[in-house]
């Protein structure tokens, strides 16, 4: 039997069926605004299409093209034949296996049992419907019974009637499902919704221009994780998509042409590619990418050559395309004229404790015996997601004594896995930038930026290098007092680098910074005898 044509891609993340006269207007406005902030692209039929007794083909099409089909049951929902026809259509779409629509029910001020058995206001509503059209009325009754048995949210039961919390729980669950796409993002995505809120991703859906944005931050802060979550939630809105993971590493281990072939092959769905030079690859991208709106993510780019070879200009892409770059160098993306750069922040203490606890205890909060120790770990790791995961796993099911020992070690020696992630940012610096970084880490944290610059200028380190370190997220400048600040993990890495350089005479001047109290006392004895 022929079925309704199936769309090749979702146009909307969600379609919401509701009877506006029943529901407090602020509730629906709040819900749609919350969806928008979290990057959930929702169709709202009371705004986009005029209502009539019969549902228009455009509205049916909107239902077909929406991944989540949400029904809001209110006291008088059943009194609207329009709403009931929407409901029948929604449940019909649920029966189609490909694409897989997900139906969700919201019980606003009508209990599941009332809807299921058509009691109270629902009994009165059906008494008014045209009984001559018995077949359609029977379909409506059956649809209500089926829908009331589906998984849903009850305003009164879930949040005691607090609408803002209720809406947040709905949008979070939808967002979590949207992020569960073709790319493995990982477990325990704490804080993802915060980033989605700030990015306002829905503005890119249906755009008439080529959008380019950058995601920047310190190594291990979660740039790739966020980019994958964005990709998973948005690729369905584009006619082609590609996530090029770790461009820097692929170029180093293979070649830049390998990245080009991956990108072209995935978007054009072809394996018949023979690109011999980067220039040839750029020409193919320029000629072939402008045929349809695409989503392209270039993860961990670190030089101009990569940008010019993979996304040299907006003119290479079709209007409506979205290109996302992730990297550790803000100036690199700034010079490529991206529309905006999103700087990823560390997790706040509450989210940091939640993420750490998920890995250390397997739940969102620490056990009572470890609350104080867990709080100390959070203080030292300063909301760094990778470090929180690593130390959470390291301390999982360990004794209190082991925790205390690791806390002492944490303040002096960097974890090797964390160091491995952070070290490339230092290695990429020029020699004078490296020297300035180590000097600042040793002696100028907390000092005024201009004071530090004047001293460092006198030691043949250009003050402009401070801006380089800031752009590479190795250093920050406090907006309050213009003092130089550095993440504890970065400073810990600096100590380790200096330890490695002990044997070099020119670096002995920094030795006291990482020496033990006994070493310092010995030096004082020598100095006092001079």
User: What residues are annotated to the active site?
Assistant: 86
The CA-atom distances, in angstroms, between 392 and each of 59, 77, 270, 403, 418 are 49, 48, 43, 11, 13
Q: Which of 112, 149, 26, 15 is nearest to 70 (CA)?
A: 15
Would you state the structure tokens that stand for residue 288, as one six-digit string? 């072939």
Residue with the two structure tokens 């969102």: 364
Contact 217, 343 (CB under 8 A): yes
The CA-atom distances, in angstroms, between 306 and each of 191, 318, 327 are 30, 20, 12
Other beta carbons within 10 Å of 195: 21
- Roughly what angle, to the nearest 10 degrees, separates helices 464-471 and 431-443? 90
What is the C-alpha to C-alpha distance for residues 454 and 461, in angstroms, rounded to an integer?
A: 10
**What is the DSSP-derived secondary structure letter of residue 105?**
E
- Roughly what angle, to the nearest 10 degrees, separates helices 192-199 and 163-178? 100
What is the C-alpha to C-alpha distance for residues 495 and 502, in angstroms, rounded to an integer?
A: 11
3-state secondary structure of 157: helix
């Amino acid at each position: 039997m022929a079925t309704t044509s199936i769309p090749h891609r979702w146009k909307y993340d969600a379609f919401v069926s509701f009877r506006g006269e029943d529901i407090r207007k602020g509730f629906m406005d709040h819900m749609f605004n919350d969806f928008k902030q979290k990057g959930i692209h929702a169709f709202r039929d009371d705004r986009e299409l005029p209502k009539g007794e019969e549902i228009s083909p455009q509205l049916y099409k909107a239902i077909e093209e929406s991944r989540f089909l949400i029904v809001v049951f209110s006291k008088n929902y059943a009194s609207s034949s329009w709403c009931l026809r929407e409901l029948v259509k929604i449940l019909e779409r649920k029966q189609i296996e490909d694409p897989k629509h997900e139906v969700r029910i919201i019980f606003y001020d009508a209990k599941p049992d009332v809807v299921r058995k058509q009691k109270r206001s629902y009994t009165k509503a059906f008494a008014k419907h045209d009984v001559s059209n018995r077949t359609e009325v029977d379909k409506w009754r059956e649809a209500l019974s089926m829908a009331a048995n589906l998984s849903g949210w009850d305003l009164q039961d879930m949040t005691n009637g607090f609408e803002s919390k209720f809406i947040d729980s709905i949008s979070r669950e939808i967002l979590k499902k949207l992020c569960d796409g073709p790319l493995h993002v990982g477990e325990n995505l704490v804080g993802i919704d915060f980033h989605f809120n700030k990015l306002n991703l829905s503005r890119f859906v249906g755009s008439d221009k080529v959008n380019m944005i950058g995601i920047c931050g310190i190594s291990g802060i979660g740039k790739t994780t966020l980019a994958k979550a964005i990709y998973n939630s948005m690729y369905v809105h584009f006619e082609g998509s590609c996530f090029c993971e770790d461009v820097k590493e692929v170029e180093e281990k293979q070649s830049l042409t390998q990245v080009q072939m991956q990108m072209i092959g995935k978007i054009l769905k072809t394996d018949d590619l023979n690109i011999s030079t980067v220039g040839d690859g750029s020409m193919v991208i320029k000629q072939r990418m402008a045929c349809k709106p695409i989503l392209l993510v270039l993860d961990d780019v670190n030089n101009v050559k990569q940008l010019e070879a993979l996304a040299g200009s907006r003119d290479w892409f079709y209007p409506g395309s979205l290109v996302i770059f992730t990297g550790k160098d803000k100036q690199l993306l700034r010079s490529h004229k991206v529309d905006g750069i999103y700087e990823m922040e560390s997790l706040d203490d509450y989210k940091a404790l939640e993420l750490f606890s998920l890995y250390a205890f397997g739940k969102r909060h620490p056990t009572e015996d470890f609350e104080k120790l867990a709080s100390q770990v959070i203080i030292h790791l300063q909301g760094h997601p990778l470090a929180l995961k690593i130390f959470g796993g390291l301390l999982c099911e360990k004794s209190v004594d082991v925790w205390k020992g690791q806390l002492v070690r944490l303040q002096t020696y960097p974890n090797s896995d964390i160091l491995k992630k952070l070290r490339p940012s230092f290695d990429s610096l020029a020699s004078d930038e490296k020297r300035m970084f180590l000097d600042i880490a040793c002696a100028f944290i907390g000092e005024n930026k201009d004071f530090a610059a004047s001293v460092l200028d006198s030691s043949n380190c250009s003050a402009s290098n401070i801006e380089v370190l800031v752009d590479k997220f190795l250093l920050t400048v406090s907006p309050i007092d213009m003092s130089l600040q550095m993440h504890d993990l970065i400073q810990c890495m600096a100590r380790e680098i200096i330890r490695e350089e002990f044997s070099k005479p020119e670096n002995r001047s920094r030795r006291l910074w990482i020496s033990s109290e006994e070493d310092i006392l010995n030096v004082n004895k020598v100095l006092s005898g001079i």
